[in-house]
Structure 1
Amino acid sequence: MTLRFRWLRFVTILLALGLLAAACGEDGAAPEDDAAPEDDAAAEDDEPPAEDEEGDDEAAAGEVPEFVSIATGGTGGAYYPIGGAMGSLLAREIDGLSNATAETTGGSVENIRLIHQGQAEMALAQGDAVHQGCAGEVDFEEPQNIATIAMVYVNLLQVVSPADRGIETIDDLAGQRVSVGDAGSATEVFIRQVTEFNGMSYDDFGEAQRLPFADQVTAIRNDQLDVGTWVVAPGVSSIQDLASSEQISILAFSDEELEALGEEFPYYIPAEVEGGTYQGVDETVTLPGTWNSIVVSQDLDEEFVYDVTRVLHENVDALASGHPSGGDLAPENIEHALCPLHPGAMRYFEEEGIEVPEDMQPTS
């Protein structure tokens, strides 16, 4: 083989190898534009992860308000001292809660409105007002932003007068000077429904007044009032005070009257004031009653409400130190709830194995 031929063959081989390399480059090498996404992906892996919204929600959970306002009632009833005992207990037992204060108010109707308006976080409230507030009925134009966490004790309709007035039936209120309780109170809700159910109205009274409990006592003593109305626990201090200086009488209801009233208003139940509860009232008196609730704003944090519910039920003696009726609070009472529970309270009762009526379980 000549040198020239060898040279030509060598050049041919080189050209062939060059063409082959070029072909491999076109088929196997990635274009620059395709490489960029891989670089971007690597850069994204190096960036800190975006904040997770669900994680933020979890971080916000368990919020404890620094201050809690507990709406109660007048100083002459049971709500105020029980609310004071509640406040002291919760501030002592719940971390992060600096102060929980019992506020004097006109009573249950006002209390429910205060929660709905965001001016109170918790309240004691009477069963009829709670039922009506939850449904947006009677004195409430719309459903109120409340939820139940506990049932405490039964309030009784105690229509009290000097014994010499001869007030023995609802009909005997006609022509009398009657206080129907403080403005904005569930006392007025109760007595208004009872009198209307019996075919009467305030127009049938000689005069209808709206006085707080303590003022009713003063007015009766000064002969400015014939009848005072209390919807409270038995043995309340203001009636005790009146009985210490006046021979009093408490209007009794017959079994037939109580049954008919309960059929019309299912949140009213038969109850009793035992003889000897008040000085000079030796016989047991039957009359209508309704359960008292502890209600909270639906907006309160679930974990916080769980802790509140647990602390209250585990420290009943502390509530009884405010007023003996506070000692009636018990987990089993929740079967008498008149407005659905807060989810935090529901969790407590589930853990305790307490059955909650289906229609009283949280709606969300």
Structure 2
Amino acid sequence: MRIPVRTLGALALAAAFAATPARAAQDLLIGGGSVTGVYYQVALQVCSLVNKYSDGKYNCVGRPALGSVFNINAVNRGLLDFGVAQSDRNWQAYTGNADWEGKPVKDLRSVFSVHPETVLLVTRKDTGIRSVTDLKGKRVNIGNPGSGQRGNAMDVLRLYGIDVDKDIQAEGLQQHDASRALVDRKIDAFFYTVGNPSAAIEEPANSTDIRIIPINSPAIKRFVAERPYYVMTKIPAGTYRGVDEDVETYAVKATVVTSAKASEQMVYDVVKIVFEHLDELRGAHAAFRHLQPEEMLGGLSAPFHPGALRYYRERGFRIPKTLAE
């Protein structure tokens, strides 16, 4: 049977369309932190919103990572599209201090900030540790290299006059390992910078009697007063099992960063999705419960990425002059 040429042409056209794959979603990677920490939840929950509301435009994956320093460097090298980093590390990287001494990351760009993160020192009650000075001679986890918490731990120890090389047995464990090591009596205490409540503190608190040590010496308070990315704060009594009094310490903010090389439209899309579905983000984790849009523009040091800036201007948010390029 002969098939008309017109019919053959229509069939060929239909076959061509059928063989053409749908436009592939753009892959996005967001680097978080330890799997028991809130940074990882930031990465997971932001990606969940992006995947849900981008109409298939993006395929976003939130990954555990080694923390602030790693994330900033990975973003700068193009290995991550976004990274979560402490506000102090945001400032240090952009201005060329600490791990970036003399080598500022000038392509670093801010996207938004998230929850406040307290600098915690957690111990078991049976160690006899009641103050930072009691750490001398103890086994203390100061955080893995490449994490913001390690920098905070080093600052605290220095301000309390403790030599990390001589006065303590310092460990560099990732946080999920440190939490278990405290319960198993392999370490006596750990530092952790995290939003509250955190599973990394809840898990040992539910397995042993813990104590959270105040970090509030006059030297600490002077240190905080001199740095705009830090604030003094308190962990309310009852946040963790067995911690029945407020504990004074200081805090940074979690910030989401990207590179100046990132697509303006992509960053705009991600920011728009997050801010227009903020109620869902608030409900995803207790640390996000009190997020307010304009407060999410605070605690940042690197300038805003043009995509983020575009959205904030559309919303009429007040933009700090130092962040508007």
| Cα contact 2:139–2:187 (8 A) shared by 1 | yes
Deviation at 1:270, TM superposition (A): 0.6
Q: Distance in 2 between matches of 1:123 and 1:104?
A: 10
In structure 2, C-alpha distance between the alignment counterparts of 1:318 and 1:67, rounded to whole Å: 22
SS of 1:203's equivalent? Answer: coil
**What is the distance in 2 between the residues matched to 1:211 and 1:264?**
30
Partner of 1:116: 76
For residue 246 of structure 2, what is the aligned residue in structure 1?
A: 284
Could you tell me whether the CA contact under 8 Å between 2:216 and 2:250 is conserved in 1? no
Question: Is structure 2 residue 66 aligned with structure 1 residue 106?
Answer: yes
Percentage identity across paired residues of the two chains: 29
Aligned AA (1:222): D
Q: Retained in 1: the 8 A contact 2:74–2:80?
A: yes
Show the counterpart of 2:262: 300
Deviations 1:50-107 (A, max 9, x none): xxxxxxxxxxxxxx97100000001110111221111121122224533111111111
- Aligned partners of 1:157 and 1:190 also within 8 Å: yes
Aligned partners of 2:25 and 2:59 also within 8 Å? no
CA deviation after TM superposition for structure 1 residue 258, in Å:
4.3
Matches within 5 A, 1:1-364: 66-95=26-55, 97-141=57-101, 142-144=103-105, 145-254=107-216, 256-333=218-295, 334-362=297-325
CA distance in 2, matches of 1:98, 1:336: 28
Compare the two structures and name the one with the higher helix fraction.
1
Counterpart code for 1:129? R
Specify whether residues 108 and 99 from structure 1 end up closer, same or farther in structure 2 by C-alpha distance, changes over 3 A only: same
Cα distance change on mapping 1:212 and 1:286 into 2, 3 Å: same
Q: CA deviation at 1:109?
A: 0.9
Partners of 1:85 and 1:321 within 8 A in 2: no
Give me the TM-score of the superposition, normalised by structure 2.
0.87
Task: Work out the CA distance in 1 between the residues paired with 2:181 and 2:87.
Answer: 28
Give the Å deviation of 1:219.
1.2
Cα offset for 1:321? 4.2
Contact kept in structure 1, 2:202 and 2:241, CA below 8 Å: yes
Q: Larger Cα Rg: Structure 1 or Structure 2? A: 1
Contact 2:159 2:219 in 1 (8 A): no
**1:161-185 CA-partner distances (Å, limit 9, x unpaired):** 0012232322221111010012211
SS in 2 for 1:228: strand
**Matching residue's letter, 2:309:** M
Report the alpha carbon displacement of residue 342 of structure 1 after superposing the two structures with TM: 0.7
CA distance in 2, matches of 1:239, 1:174: 22
Secondary structure in 2 matching 1:234 = coil
What are the Cα deviations for residues 326-353 of structure 1, in whole angstroms up to 9, with x where unaligned?
A: 3443321113322211111112222222
Q: TM-score, normalised by structure 1?
A: 0.78
The one-letter code sitting in structure 2 at the alignment partner of 1:212 is Q
- The alignment partner of 1:139 has SS state of helix
2:87/2:299 contact within 8 Å kept: no
The letter of the residue matching 1:97 is K
Name the aligned partner's letter for residue 261 of structure 2: D
